[in-house]
């Protein structure tokens, strides 16, 4: 093991990767999926189709390869994301793109059915979203970092955080970044995941969002993946901020002895 890969592994073992817990290290070393100690339920909540993919598609692929169940939870169907199309038409096109991307990453899409560009954060939406997340019984949730220039990204993050509080902080919570500098702001990572083995699938899944001209925006994500790789000693990495006080984070540290949902 050279110095670089060692550093990456160590950086990872301090947080999300939980080497041997999520089974990710064994996957990276051997190139084959290994049975996880316990199958985890992971929810990746993004505001629009393409956010979970571009924010942590490499990590999603690694988790599903390791035998965990991953749900991509889209707050909207990207209704305002295609010029010249009605909200319904755009939603249909982008739903199909999200389904294709999820297939590539080994995730299952779920839609929260708010409207792109018009997401709401209020008592009813908090309750609805909390109910949606509670029904998934996640062990780990990923979502947008709340300081972001896009209102829908902020809304998504606030809904997740409020649900996390309301559900007793019982799952691990990590924030991902999208187009840092342009969208995500003030992002100082606490954890990194080496996505060298899955970067190609992340790229393919993001490219599945044909309506969004991914050939124009993916190079920005490519630069981020390489930069986070440089920071953590890998070729490509995704970076995260870990929410403190999460019950699931302790479980990750201690090998997930049981589900925090009592099942």
User: Do 237 and 190 meet the contact criterion of CB atoms below 8 Å apart?
Assistant: no
Distance of closest approach, residue 88 Cβ to Zn ion, in angstroms? 19
- Bridge pairing between strands 140-144 and 41-46: parallel
Shortest-Cβ-distance residue relative to Zn ion: 48
Strand partners, 42: 70, 140
CB of 152 to Zn ion, least distance (A): 6
Binding Zn ion (rule: CB under 5 A), the pick from 41, 51, 106, 125 is 51
Which of 48-56, 89-97, 189-197, 205-213 is the region at the interface with Zn ion (rule: CB under 5 A)? 48-56
Pick 51 or 139: Cβ nearer Zn ion: 51
Nearest to 175 by CA among 259, 20, 59, 254: 59
155 part of the interface to Zn ion, by CB under 5 A: no
Of 139 and 148, CB closest to Zn ion:
148
Does position 48 interact with Zn ion (CB under 5 A)? The reply is yes
Q: Does 156 bind Zn ion (CB under 5 A)?
A: no
- Taking CB atoms within 8 Å and a gap of at least 24, the contacts of 256-261 are 256/21, 256/37, 256/38, 256/40, 256/139, 259/38, 259/137, 259/139, 260/139, 260/170, 260/171, 261/137, 261/170
Quick one: 48 or 68, whose CB is closer to Zn ion? 48
Residue ranges binding Zn ion (CB under 5 A):
47-48, 51
């Amino acid at each position: 093991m050279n110095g670089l890969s060692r550093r990456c592994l160590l950086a990872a073992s301090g947080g999300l990767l939980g080497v041997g817990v999520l089974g990710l290290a064994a996957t990276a070393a051997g190139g084959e999926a290994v049975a996880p100690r316990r199958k985890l339920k992971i929810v990746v909540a993004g505001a629009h189709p393409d956010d979970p993919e571009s924010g942590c598609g490499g990590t999603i692929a690694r988790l599903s390869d390791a035998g965990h169940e991953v749900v991509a939870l889209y707050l909207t169907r990207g209704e305002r994301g295609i010029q010249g199309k009605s909200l319904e038409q755009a939603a249909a096109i982008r739903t199909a793109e999200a389904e294709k991307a999820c297939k590539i990453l080994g995730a299952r899409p779920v839609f929260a059915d708010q409207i792109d560009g018009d997401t709401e954060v209020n008592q009813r939406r908090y309750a609805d979203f909390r109910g949606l997340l509670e029904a998934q019984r996640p062990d780990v949730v990923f979502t947008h970092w709340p300081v972001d220039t896009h209102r829908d990204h902020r809304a998504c993050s606030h809904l997740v955080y409020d649900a996390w509080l309301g559900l007793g902080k019982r799952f691990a919570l990590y924030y991902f970044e999208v187009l840092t500098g342009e969208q995500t702001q003030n992002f100082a990572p606490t954890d990194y995941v080496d996505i060298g083995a899955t970067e190609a699938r992340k790229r393919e899944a993001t490219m599945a969002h044909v309506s969004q001209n991914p050939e124009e925006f993916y190079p920005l994500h490519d630069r981020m993946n390489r930069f986070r790789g440089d920071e953590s000693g890998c070729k490509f990495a995704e970076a995260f901020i870990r929410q403190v006080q999460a019950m699931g984070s302790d479980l990750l540290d201690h090998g997930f002895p049981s589900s925090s949902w009592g099942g």
